[in-house]
Amino acid sequence: MRLFDRDIWGEAFHSLRTNRKRSIATAFGIFWGILMLVILMSLSQGFSNGMRKQLGGISSNTTMLYCSTTSKPYKGYPTDRWWSLSVSDIDNLQKRFPEIETISPIQQGAWDTAVSYGTKSTTAPLYSAWTSYDQIVYSTLLAGRRLNESDEQQRRRNCTIGEEVSQKFFASHEEALGKVINIDGSYYTVVGVLKGKSKGMNINGSEEQKVRIPYTILSASLGQSNEVYHFLYSLHGDGKDSKAINDRIKAYIRSTHDIAPDDESAIGEFNISEIFTAQNSMLWGVNVFVWFIGIGTLLSGIIGISNIMLVSVKERTREIGIRRALGAQRKDIIRLILLESGMLSLLAGLLGLLLGVGIMSIVSQITASMENEMLVNPLIPFGTAIGALLFIVIGGVVGGLLPLKKALEIRSIEAIREE
Residue 417 lies in a domain: no
Same domain, 174 and 290: no
- Among 56-65, 115-124, 371-380, 393-402, the range with the most confident prediction by mean pLDDT is 115-124
Same domain, 121 and 156: yes
User: Taking 60 as the threshold, does the pLDDT of residue 230 lie above it?
Assistant: yes
Closest C-alpha among 399, 314, 402 to residue 33:
399
Residue 418 lies in a domain: no
Same domain, 47 and 77: no
Same domain, 26 and 175: no
Residue 270 lies in a domain: no
Same domain, 230 and 133: yes
Query: What are the pLDDT digits (tens) for 180-219?
Result: 999 999 999 999 999 987 765 667 778 889 999 999 999 9
Same domain, 19 and 84: no
Residue 150 lies in a domain: yes
More confident residue, 9 or 218: 218
Same domain, 222 and 286: no
Q: Would you place residue 1 in the very low, low, confident or very high pLDDT band (cuts 50, 70, 90)?
A: very low
DSSP assignments along 155-199, one per residue: T--EEEEEHHHHHHH-SSHHHHTT-EEEETTEEEEEEEEEEES-S
Same domain, 245 and 315: no
Task: Please tell me the distance from the alpha carbon of residue 191 to that of residue 146, in angstroms, as a whole number.
Answer: 7
Amino acid making up residue 259: I
Same domain, 87 and 236: yes
- Angle (nearest 5°) at CA 156 between 150 and 159: 100
Query: CB within 8 A of 259, min separation 6: which ones?
Result: 70, 74, 83, 253, 266, 267
Residue that finishes a domain, picked among 239, 265, 291: 265
Domains in the chain, number: 2
Residue 1 lies in a domain: no
pLDDT for res 372: 60
pLDDT for res 19: 63
Residue 101 belongs to domain spanning: 69-265
End-to-end CA distance of the chain: 31
Q: Which residues pair with 267 in a beta bridge?
A: 67
pTM: 0.68
More confident residue, 211 or 282: 211
Residue 311 lies in a domain: yes
Alpha helices (H) in 257-371, listed in sequence order: 272-315, 317-325, 330-369
Average pLDDT over residues 29-37: 83
Task: Please tell me the distance from the alpha carbon of residue 265 to that of residue 83, in angstroms, as a whole number.
Answer: 12
Kindly tell me the burial class for residue 370, based on how many C-beta atoms sit within 10 Å of its own C-beta (0-12, 13-18, 19 or more). exposed
Residue 419 lies in a domain: no
Residue 252 lies in a domain: yes
Query: What are the pLDDT digits (tens) for 96-133?
Result: 999 999 999 999 988 999 999 999 999 999 999 999 99
Residue that finishes a domain, picked among 206, 234, 265: 265
Hey, is 378 helix, strand or coil?
coil
Closest C-alpha among 59, 90, 82 to residue 231:
90
Same domain, 188 and 103: yes
Amino acid making up residue 379: L
Same domain, 202 and 291: no
Same domain, 236 and 333: no
Residue that finishes a domain, picked among 196, 231, 265: 265
Distances (CA, A) of 394 to 47, 116, 305, 342: 30, 68, 12, 7
